Amino acid sequence: MRYLLYLLPLVIFCGAGVAFWWALDSGRDPSRLPSALIDRPAPEFALPPIAGIDTPGLSSGDLATGEVTLVNVFASWCVPCRAEHPILVRLNQEEGIRLVGINYQDKPEDAVRFLDDLTNPYSRIGADPEGRTSLDWGLTGVPETFVIDGTGRIRYRHVGPIHPSEVESMILPAVEEARK
């Protein structure tokens, strides 16, 4: 019995090692986190515009337009948001994809400066200073991007910044699928 007590730390260590190895080597893509909202209507919300910018606010009614829409949750203080921003501009300007934004827990003056510095590709932006609406979307961090079909249903969720290689392999196929 005493020998079993000596083996207990080894068994716990081995179990933790197997769990850690599985998490790292399971082939799972962390940007493809499951979401209970997939294939469901976008949450009901109505967000005001960012003060100091001419872009209108955003509500759930703005998403059921018959057109596929990317909803990007961003913040000026988010370094990955800055890194993915040129990709969002490209998707909007070159691919013609409608893009709207939710500005997450940001000061209006910082958000305006961010968009002035990098270009504003959003046709609508809702200010979410408390982050409550973003939580309704199941936000785990910024940036996150959702593909919304023409009826306002969430079809795809991308966690983290969109890398250039993911445009062709993930984002554009999700947009095409949402158009069907």
pLDDT in tens, 112-145: 999 999 999 999 999 999 999 999 999 999 999 9
pLDDT at 48 over 80: yes
Q: Taking residues 15-43, what's their average pLDDT?
A: 66
Q: Which residue has the tokens 């959003």?
A: 122
Q: Hey, how many other C-beta atoms are within 10 angstroms of the C-beta on 48? A: 14
Higher pLDDT, residue 87 or 2: 87
The reported pLDDT for the residue numbered 15 is 65
Q: Taking residues 39-58, what's their average pLDDT?
A: 97
Higher pLDDT, residue 30 or 180: 180
35: pLDDT confidence band, cut at 50, 70 and 90? Answer: confident
The reported pLDDT for the residue numbered 21 is 56
pLDDT in tens, 84-109: 999 999 999 999 999 999 999 999 99
Q: Which residue has the tokens 């090692």?
A: 17
Supply 78's token pair. Answer: 């988010």
The dihedral of CA 95, 100, 102, 106: what is its sign?
positive
| Strand, coil or helix: 18 | helix
pLDDT in tens, 56-67: 999 999 999 999
User: In whole angstroms, what is the distance from residue 24 CA to residue 43 CA?
Assistant: 33
* Residue 109: CA count within 13 A, CB half-sphere: 0
Supply 128's token pair. Answer: 């979410």
The reported pLDDT for the residue numbered 7 is 74
**Residue 10 CB-density burial (10 A; 0-12 exposed, 13-18 middle, 19+ buried):** exposed
User: In whole angstroms, what is the distance from residue 62 CA to residue 56 CA?
Assistant: 11
pLDDT at 2 over 80: no
Do 134 and 42 touch, CB atoms closer than 8 A?
Answer: no
pLDDT at 151 over 90: yes
